[in-house]
Structure 1
Amino acid sequence: MKRIFLLLALFIIILGCSSDDEIRRNPYLPKMSFSVQFDLNLPEYNQLNFAGNKFITRNYGINGIVIYNLNNDQYLAYELTDPNHVPQACSALTVNGISASCGCDDGNVYSIITGEQTEGTGEYALQVYRIERRGSTLQISN
């Protein structure tokens, strides 16, 4: 009898698990694929060798990416498109200090350290890109 109860309990636990724990995909931003490397030995990227500095490029992603050196061991990379809008001219984010702001009329502002929205309305944080440091090279991909 114990065995049947145990199997029944295990079956209920398995059925109780769902895929709701998965991160929801942002419906506003198109899915795209890219991979790019930045050599920190090159003068163009020198500022990324120092904690607290950032580099912005508009050549990758939807409206570009911002790379932030958090502490020389951890780097962050985010999409520079407001995640709470369909991409349009005003949804390209402008970075000032550690904040990225949207040019649309809703006043959305995001932290480039946490990716979280700090002002405005919306349910999505900045789109994060995978970033890995290998020696003096940063590999960014999605």
Structure 2
Amino acid sequence: MKKFWLLILFVSVLFSCSDSERSNNNPYIPNYNVNLSVDMNLPLYSNLKYVSNGVIVPNYGAKGIIIFNAGNSYNAYDAACPNQELSSCNAMTIDGINAVCSCDKTSYSLFTGLGGKQYPLKQYRVQVTGTVIHVYN
């Protein structure tokens, strides 16, 4: 009987585990398909080789994609303000290690995506192979 309960506990823990991604649902930012590759050997993206540097790649997602070197990993976020109507704001700007919304001047950490408002930055998946960063959802 004890083995049965251990098995039930193990199965419930297994199914309750997540891949530690936060929900990307945001009523202000539609779910666009994103499939972007950038090569850090190109001058436009060479800053991404260094920690705490980021770039905005226009014409992807809702308002462009922010790619940021977080040290041990790369983060990619939509450049749309996550707590504003899509049509009311320009694309966010990068200010050091933060992205700043053009409407309400809220700063969002490019390390965590958090900004103290209801919704964090909309995050995309990232895969790095050599000097190529692939951003997708």
TM-score range, shorter chain: 0.7 to 0.9
DSSP-derived class of the 1:117 partner:
coil
The residue number in structure 2 matching 1:87 is: 86
The question of 1:134 aligning with 2:133 is answered: no
Match of 1:115 in 2: 113
On the 8 A contact 2:39/2:131 being kept in 1, the answer is yes
State the identity as a percent.
36
CA distance in 1, matches of 2:41, 2:93: 26
Is there any run of 5+ residues in structure 1 with no aligned partner, and where? none
1:81, 1:93 within 8 Å by CA — same for their partners in 2? Answer: yes
| Contact 2:36–2:134, Cα closer than 8 Å, also in 1 | yes
For residue 108 of structure 2, give the secondary structure of its aligned residue in structure 1: strand
Alignment of 1:1-142 (within 5 A): 23=23, 25-71=25-71, 73-90=72-89, 92-104=91-103, 106-118=104-116, 122-142=117-137
Q: Distance in 2 between matches of 1:62 and 1:23?
A: 17
Q: Which runs of 5+ in 2 are unaligned?
A: 17-21
SS at the partner of 2:47? Answer: helix
User: Structure 1 segments of 4 or more deviating over 3 A?
Assistant: none
Partners of 1:41 and 1:107 in 2: how far apart? 33
Taking a change above 3 Å as real, the CA distance of residues 50 and 107 of structure 1, as seen in their structure-2 partners, is closer
State the aligned residue count: 126
Length-normalised TM-score, structure 2: 0.77
Pick closer, same or farther for the CA change 1:27–1:135 going to 2, 3 Å.
Answer: same
